[in-house]
Structure 1
Amino acid sequence: MPRALTRTGALLAAVVLLFTSWSVTTDRRAEALEPFTGYLMAHFTGEHANGEQIYLAHSRDGLRWTDLNNGAPVLLSTVGTRGVRDPALVRSPAGDRYWIIATDLRIASGTSWSDAANNGSKSLVVWESSDLVNWSSPRLLNVAGGISGAGNAWAPEAIYDPSSGDYVVYWATNATLNGVKKHRIYYVRTRDFRSVGSPVLYIDRGQGQGIIDTQIVEAPGSAGGYRYYRASADGQITIEASNSVLGTWTRIGDLSHMGISNGATGGNVVEGPMWMQFNGRAEWALWLDQYATGRGYMPVTSTNLGSTRNFATRTDYQLGGTRKRHGSILNLTAAEESRVLAKWGTSAPVTRIQAYTHQDRYVRHADFDVRIDPNVSPAQDAQFHVMPGLAGSGTVSFQSVNYPGYYLRHYGFDFVLAPDDGTATFKSDATFRQVAGLASASWSSFQSYNYPDRYIRHYDYKLRLDPITDATGRADATFRLTS
């Protein structure tokens, strides 16, 4: 091929690649400028078996919420303590990158609050995405390791700082300073949520008053007189204001006059303040987690953040089926909302797998082992989504409802519930052909994709993958998919 032609072709390819890259980036950045049409809430649900993971809810009006993914978690932490609380959703100014950062903590594992506060994780858990629906594997980000005597890193938040072109990540750490051990707010700077600067003290209420939860919202047009407003759980729910993220903050007031506090003056004792601006109008909701009574979030709203006397309680809200604990809310563009609902908004059927021989028993996972049991509790341990087979067309795979991304698979011909590791072996081990039931044609049997002479069957109530050679085996290998 002539060298000149080769150079021309290479130049043309480079131009096409550059234009394509520019177009995709521009599309993402344009999304950030589009009007908002909906809302996405990230939260956890409590200290039960799978409650300390990432859950999502969607709203069209900012007050009435629908659980996504059928009320099951959408992301599971597999790092650190293998549990997360207090998730914060972060969008880049260009709208081309998103992060979820969360507390690395799982009380359900048996950790005491004292151990968690004094000998807990110094890292946050981070997920990253370019489209809000396809997320990276979780990773740990050590933010508090540089704080002398740090006991933990709790309740993280992040906000973009236009004055420096990076993000301010802030959280609470329990440490001794000037002879007093308590929770204070620290911050670090980051551009990529992979590397951070040294931690700096951000908020210290003085004397013995600790502070754990704080969240900042930017008010367009400096509504109420300031650009930024900060709500903190520091005995009260204290509202402060500033014109810069790391500048001087002015105390606006608190919510004690509404009978709401963080414990200092009793009343409705709340935590986890979570800001949200209503789409298309200068009105804000401050959601408060009613942890003391276990009722989950409630909103108070205001059209003027310049005084706490402008806040009013609301009763016209609905939180969906799950209990919503300390989280954050992201306003969604139409494109973002469409992607989120396409991924998690469809109500995929929930299926149970009933045993033919013991019709009061259903396939369930317990500590990631798989067996058949009656009266399964929690019920979601025996619920699955029947998915197109991971390894081939015309086949099925069984994805756990309460452990999304985890599938029934055989391993050494025993069955376990395991996360899809992306390998061809996993996909084959988790794939089956649904055929007429070996003991009754009106039921079903499930033939192994990679060992076609073997079928799913129960033996001594445990699930196995076996060759079927007699009537007992045929009956044990027969199941019914039911709601």
Structure 2
Amino acid sequence: MLTYFRQRYPTRIEIDEDGNTVEVPLSDPMLEAKLHIALSTDGRHWFPLNANEPVWDQWMRDPYVRRGPDGVWRILTTGTTDGYNRDASGPGCFFASSKDLIHWNDERTLPLMEEVRDASGNFLANNIWAPEWFYDEENEEYILIWSSSFKDAGWKESRLWYSKTKDWKNFTPAKVFFEPPYSVIDGTLLKHENAYYLFHKEEEFGAKTGERRAIRLATSKKLEGPYQIVDGDLNDGQIVPVITEGPTIIEDPENSGWLLYYDYCMTNRYGASFSKDFLNWEILDDVHFPADARHGCVSKISSEEARTLINEYNISSSTDK
């Protein structure tokens, strides 16, 4: 199951040689920032439900949907129109839970950066982007990870932050999770054997750094780090082509290895790469995704659950819609 939202970007942000932000218009922009679902049997060919229209009329971006050890599905999303939520509790993200992926309950905003303030009590963070959660089996608790920046744009000098909870009601104060020597967003975690793999987007571009907006990898023996950056074989350390974001990873259902998904955010395409060892990645050509899919999350569901979703929303026979 692939959960995602849809977008064609209206502009491409560039930094000129003087450090000024320049927005270059892109053709045919659109935005459907609501929950979409697609299904696949091989992880490569995806068919959207509900004719690639939303399955829930709730504003959200970057929907991360996973099932907890208690069988409950929980969603975390960037929850406002511009990715910010500057209310009395500071920036927040959207949360909800479900037992069947159809009926969602307990909708609320989580002000995860509420306690991160300056000496005068002012909020330091301006945003919470692409929040995800990971279940820590050893300590029987959930760890929430997201990116935040203290600058005027969410991608500027951004760091990954985290908070922990056992009951989704009480959360530990936010702390920095990953602080590499570059701006970082879109972190996603995988545990394999005795190691943790942190896939993330390096978000650097401009006259000084060049075009460095793609997926990287860091690893650790401990969930809370520290994480060591892996030097990939592309683009001086990256592991997939430039201008990609929103990684999500699963064990390949067809072969012995792993599938890494991401979207080519400025060229309106979705893609996947295959690896046997997390280090060497092959871009897959024979893949099909729903049109305009952005920042997906892939989960394994049963055949019975798939039939329930198909009966509720129908399935499209084409990926062109």
- Distance in 2 between the 1:346 and 1:272 partners? 24
Alignment-derived partner of residue 334 in structure 1: 303
Instruction: Specify whether residues 255 and 70 from structure 1 end up closer, same or farther in structure 2 by C-alpha distance, changes over 3 A only.
Output: farther
CA shift digits 1:48-72 (9 cap, x unpaired): 6651111111111100000111211
- Answer whether contact 2:4 2:297 (CA < 8 A) is retained: yes
Alignment-derived partner of residue 275 in structure 1: 249
Alignment-derived partner of residue 160 in structure 2: 185
Cα displacement (A) at 1:259? 10
Alignment-derived partner of residue 304 in structure 1: 277
Alignment-derived partner of residue 87 in structure 1: 63
- Distance in 1 between the 2:233 and 2:103 partners? 39
CA shift digits 1:175-211 (9 cap, x unpaired): 27xxxx72111101122334322111111114xx211
Stretches of structure 1 lacking an aligned partner (at least 5 in a row) = 1-39, 78-82, 108-115, 348-379, 381-483
Instruction: Specify whether residues 69 and 118 from structure 1 end up closer, same or farther in structure 2 by C-alpha distance, changes over 3 A only.
Output: closer
Cα displacement (A) at 1:217? 1.6
- Answer whether contact 1:289 1:325 (CA < 8 A) is retained: yes
Residue 63 (structure 1) aligned with residue 44 (structure 2): yes
What is the 5 A alignment of 1:311-330?
311-320=281-290, 322-330=291-299
Residue 52 (structure 1) aligned with residue 33 (structure 2): yes
Structure 1 or 2, whichever has the larger Rg, is 1
What secondary structure, in the 3-state scheme, does the structure 2 residue paired with 1:254 have? coil
- Answer whether contact 2:216 2:237 (CA < 8 A) is retained: no
CA shift digits 1:147-177 (9 cap, x unpaired): 221101111111001121111001011127x
Alignment-derived partner of residue 467 in structure 1: none
- Answer whether contact 1:211 1:232 (CA < 8 A) is retained: yes
Q: TM-score, normalised by structure 1?
A: 0.52
- Answer whether contact 1:44 1:85 (CA < 8 A) is retained: yes
What secondary structure, in the 3-state scheme, does the structure 1 residue paired with 2:33 have? coil
Cα displacement (A) at 1:343? 2.2
What secondary structure, in the 3-state scheme, does the structure 2 residue paired with 1:185 have? strand
What secondary structure, in the 3-state scheme, does the structure 2 residue paired with 1:317 have? coil
Alignment-derived partner of residue 147 in structure 2: 172
Instruction: Specify whether residues 280 and 244 from structure 1 end up closer, same or farther in structure 2 by C-alpha distance, changes over 3 A only.
Output: farther
- Answer whether contact 2:231 2:238 (CA < 8 A) is retained: no
Instruction: Specify whether residues 255 and 137 from structure 1 end up closer, same or farther in structure 2 by C-alpha distance, changes over 3 A only.
Output: farther
CA RMSD of aligned residues (A): 2.7
CA shift digits 1:321-375 (9 cap, x unpaired): x21101211111233323322322356xxxxxxxxxxxxxxxxxxxxxxxxxxxx
- Answer whether contact 2:42 2:254 (CA < 8 A) is retained: no
- Answer whether contact 1:117 1:174 (CA < 8 A) is retained: no
Greater fraction strand:
2
What secondary structure, in the 3-state scheme, does the structure 2 residue paired with 1:52 have? strand
What secondary structure, in the 3-state scheme, does the structure 1 residue paired with 2:104 have? coil
- Distance in 2 between the 1:106 and 1:86 partners? 12
- Answer whether contact 2:217 2:229 (CA < 8 A) is retained: yes
What is the 5 A alignment of 1:26-425?
40-46=1-7, 51-77=32-58, 83-94=59-70, 96-107=71-82, 122-136=91-105, 138-148=107-117, 149-175=124-150, 182-206=157-181, 209-219=182-192, 222=193, 226-234=194-202, 235=212, 236-254=214-232, 256=234, 268-279=242-253, 281-295=255-269, 297-305=270-278, 308=279, 310-320=280-290, 322-346=291-315
How many residue pairs get aligned? The number is 275
CA shift digits 1:58-94 (9 cap, x unpaired): 11110000011121101222xxxxx311111121124
- Answer whether contact 1:238 1:255 (CA < 8 A) is retained: no
Greater fraction helix:
1
Stretches of structure 2 lacking an aligned partner (at least 5 in a row) = 10-28, 118-123, 203-211
Amino acid at match of 1:84: M
Cα displacement (A) at 1:131? 2.4
Task: Answer 1 or 2: higher relative contact order, Cα 8 Å, separation at least 6.
Answer: 2
What secondary structure, in the 3-state scheme, does the structure 2 residue paired with 1:282 have? coil
Instruction: Specify whether residues 248 and 280 from structure 1 end up closer, same or farther in structure 2 by C-alpha distance, changes over 3 A only.
Output: farther
Amino acid at match of 1:213: D
